[in-house]
Structure 1
Amino acid sequence: MTPAARVQAAIEIVDAVLVAARTGGAAADTLIARYFKVRRFAGSTDRREVRELAYAAIRRAGQPPVSGRAAMIGLAGDRPELADLFDGSRHGPAAIDPAEPVAPAGVAPDWLVGRLTKALPPDEWPALMARAPLDLRVNRLKADREAVLALLPDAVPGLLSPDALRLPEGTAVEATGAFRDGLIEVQDEGSQLIALACAAQPRMTVVDLCAGAGGKTLALAAMMDGEGRLVACDVDRGRLARLWPRAERAGVGRIETRLLDGGRETEALADLAAQADVVLVDAPCSGTGTWRRNPEARWRLSPARLDRLVAMQQHVLELAAPLVRPGGRLVYAVCSLLAEEGRDRISDFLASNPHWSVVSSVAAGHPAGAGRLLTPANDGTDGFFVAALTAPC
């Protein structure tokens, strides 16, 4: 591919991302993979360069641009060498007309700016669009951090989690023996801190109420040393099914899984009432803390969708609380920076449940009401809110 053809390919990919954002379609990385699956002529350098251009244009545009071309013209305004490639050549983009729309630079859609201002000082905003590092969690069931460091000479220890390692971006982790043998899992260091906030121990009963594909479930299993009762629940059959191959590789054999039916969760969880030492609620959320990994997620969010997510978070908290035994722990977390999904949810819960008490969750992060807010700029992690509460005895 010529340099100009790469620019045109990136424009087409951003157009596909914009359509997916409006219609609830696939994520950008999936769309990029599909794009090149039918364009076998593109070499590895072509694919890498096109991907970089597409993501750079997406990261730059806070508002959903009118088109992929408008997004790329905006990027070209910052990169004169890119503007020269709008030359009308075969397979390249047409020359830029000064009257064409240009996507303005920004961090978030206009309707979200005020909410972000309440959560973070503006000097932390650029980090939300920085490229995310590659973090690993050492699987305590099979190894310790020093042993894995010896196997991965490019890795460095994390600064916050005792199980965290960080590798250079682009490292082919899944090709390593350490990954194949289940010594490590790919997991952001902030996500590891949420699991640590649960303070799970062997012989406990622990419920991961929104387990998804089981990243935090596996971390909890390692903390429990394979002893006790660990129950992983979710409403998505496909996501929950992905836990089993991961658990097998990690050497975790004692996990109960429960597929919950929306609207009938209380019935499905009745046998766990007041039985759990720990309940983790890693609630569905806006994902505003993960923009550096999924920058197009900004374009998928709307005020109406945020309202639905807040209602769902409230619902899941109401499901979780009765499962906690007297003196047990409830940990609530979202990969969101927004107060209405984090601080406000716990504030409302405590107002309705005044006999519950707040416990220290993680030492890192900004204070955020009864919890902590981890951010890319302050902590080097994805953005997370986490709070830990104790049930009345």
Structure 2
Amino acid sequence: MKKHLIFVLISFTLILSCSKDDNPLDTNINDESIYFPPINSSSWETKSISELGWNQNALAPLLNYLETKHTKGFIILHNGKIVVEAYFNNHSASKIWYWASAGKTLTTAVSGIAQNEGFININNKVSTYLGTGWTSAPLEKENLITCKNLLSMNSGLDDTAGDVVSPENLKYIADAGTRWAYHNVYVKMQDVIAASSKQTWTNYFNLKLRDKIGMTGNWIDLNSLSVYWSDTRSMARFGLLTYAKGKWETTQIVPELFLNEATNTSQNINEAYGYLWWLNGKSTYHLPQTQFEFKGSLIPDAPQDMYAALGKNDQKLYIVPSKKLVIVRMGDVADGENFALSNFDNDLWKKINDLIRHYPVKCVS
């Protein structure tokens, strides 16, 4: 198995008592405060698999699976500390990769910041900030579209005209709020924030989010799309900020109330969607490029409280509050081109579950 494995802590020194129910380590882990890696530093504290009582025998199968599925970077954080960090297929910790649509959630976070600073109100119509004519919809229909509709993917605009968000491509199909469709029109939120703050989107993003949590990376324009590229740890930092309810150490960066809204169902059509976040554990869900409603949970084998940033070709950021986990997967597509969700999600979670279950060993006094 060829890989550049930066960090995998597997300690064989813990030979103490270890059933799931009486593991003496559980209390310390539960009481542990969230760890935040320092800004402008490559240092990041770690935690061992044995310390967590996980199944260390499941690690090698997980890493083998990730490598065969064209993964480049993979990280598991527990309460902020690195438990697994691995790089494959000629990638490394210093190389960058694209977030694809997983980066939509960066726009969500910055929208919350801009609203908290008084620049925007997501309940206002988009034309309040961009003026009229930003779509080709009739004016009375355009004026129904709020910023919240953009964040919730229920603007009612045509989702079949491609990624370009010029007015001629933004055509009316249904009244805002009555139709859910996965659409690149969300990027108009970046224009809203730029116009209202009187800064460029990039400058505002860097100042208010990226630099405050020690992320690296940049927005790169690709065929009319602005896509975020960074190293794998930067995605983990953003996941940690979100897991910590918008706080970095003692500073509230994204308002907690806004994040709570963002990571819960935001409209009454697609239960599994918030403000550009995908939500597990709902009774039904919709997928990109279809109006069909699917029954059941988005990723059945993932924890029910998990929410995720999902991007084309299997860019993944999973956050699981109940298990104190942030998990990042970056790389090429696992099995075939996809827009966000794929079968890879559930198969990967089966492997992760094998790892994070408590591994029973006998006590030795």
| TM bracket, shorter-chain basis | under 0.3
Name the structure, 1 or 2, with higher relative contact order (CA <8 Å, separation 6+): 2
Larger Rg: 1
Question: Structure 1 or 2: larger helix share?
Answer: 1
- TM-score under structure 1 length normalisation: 0.24
